[in-house]
Amino acid sequence: MSSQTNLSRRRFGGLLAASFGAAGTPAWAAATQGKGKRMQQPHALIKPARLRDGDLVAIIAPGGFTDEESIAKAQRNIEALGLRASLGANIRAVHGNYAGTVQQRLDDLHAAFRDPDVKAVWAIRGGSGCISLLALLDYALIQRNPKVLIGYSDITALHLAIASQTGLVTFHGPVASSTFSEYTVTQLQNVLMMPQEQYTIPMALDNHRRAQTQPNFAIRTVHGGQATGRLTGGNLCLVSALAGTPYAADFREHILFLEEINEVPYRIDRMLCQLDLSVGFNKAAALMLGIFEHCEAADGDTALTLNDTLDQHLQPLRVPAVSGYSFGHIRHQFTLPMGILATLDADRQTLTLLEPGVC
């Protein structure tokens, strides 16, 4: 443990006494009461129960709106895993680009966590809008009813907020309407249904083959070495958007993982700069970048390549750093339990989960 961490803990006792008023109410709580704001506090890790054959999974749309084809596909995906699917009451709602109003989307998420028969909550898609839910989520309800939450892309906002406010392990993995490959299904099952005490995640062979013609699929070691830390991160746009909020990813001494889609290099550069300025990449245990899909500049543009842009941030680091791992907006992706301990071996280009994400 770093001396900085020890110093913070020694100071904490004095700061705690100063932060309570005469009535015993924390100053931060009084200041934010009724405003939907929460101060980030450390929480013990909570692991949801593993999924078993026949378990009920709630399909919800906390971000972008969906359609009948995607709903049917999501149901088929879940049933193919030996699970049962139920639909959120507002899953067909449309409010602009969103799957209903903020209240409708909140209602479905809260109902899924409140229902004792539901064992997992699976987002049907990402899109946009999850960030609007964060200040209004009932974190106490989620903490009292821990269950599997799965998704990626815009669902990153929920993952990071729930982790910071409850300590619940959630899962960065395919959305329910994804086109599942055999690799994706195997990784889901190994993490959620057949957990191991330690599990080294194999990279997808199909992604390796695509790297022959698409450089963004190539696994690259920018800085070698090994690092152990808890997993945090997700979609770069959302991780950077939450910087400076109570729901931000505090990736100090963590393995920070990032992926992106449809963002040109200069925007990726800006978001990486924001994260580095807000926390500092060298304070992370390691950086693990997934597949950045459709993130090259248009032909003819005067711009750095994607890899040149990433390397501007990765090469100066003193911690292990890799790119091209099998997660992101891609068909063949593995599932990451957020919050658990893992070891990144940049020399062997592996990631090993050191504990199961479910109990």
Question: Which sequence positions are flagged as catalytic?
Answer: 153, 259, 329
Contact 328, 302 (CB under 8 A): no
Token output for 34: 């009724």
For the sheet containing 220-223, what is the strand order? 199-201, 350-353, 341-345, 226-235, 254-261, 286-293, 321-323, 220-223
Identity (one letter) of the amino acid at 214? Q
CA distances from 31 to 18, 26, 102 (A): 15, 9, 24
Which residues are within 8 A (CB) of 94 and not within 5 positions of it... i.e. 6 or more apart?
65, 100
Contact 109, 60 (CB under 8 A): yes
Task: Give the separation between CA 96 and CA 143, rounded to whole angstroms.
Answer: 31
Which residues are within 8 A (CB) of 333 and not within 5 positions of it... i.e. 6 or more apart?
152, 173, 174, 183, 184, 187, 204, 290, 326, 327
Which residues are within 8 A (CB) of 174 and not within 5 positions of it... i.e. 6 or more apart?
150, 151, 152, 180, 184, 188, 333, 335
Number of CB atoms found within 10 A of residue 186's CB: 16
Number of CB atoms found within 10 A of residue 280's CB: 12
Phi and psi at residue 342, in whole multiples of 5°? -150, 160
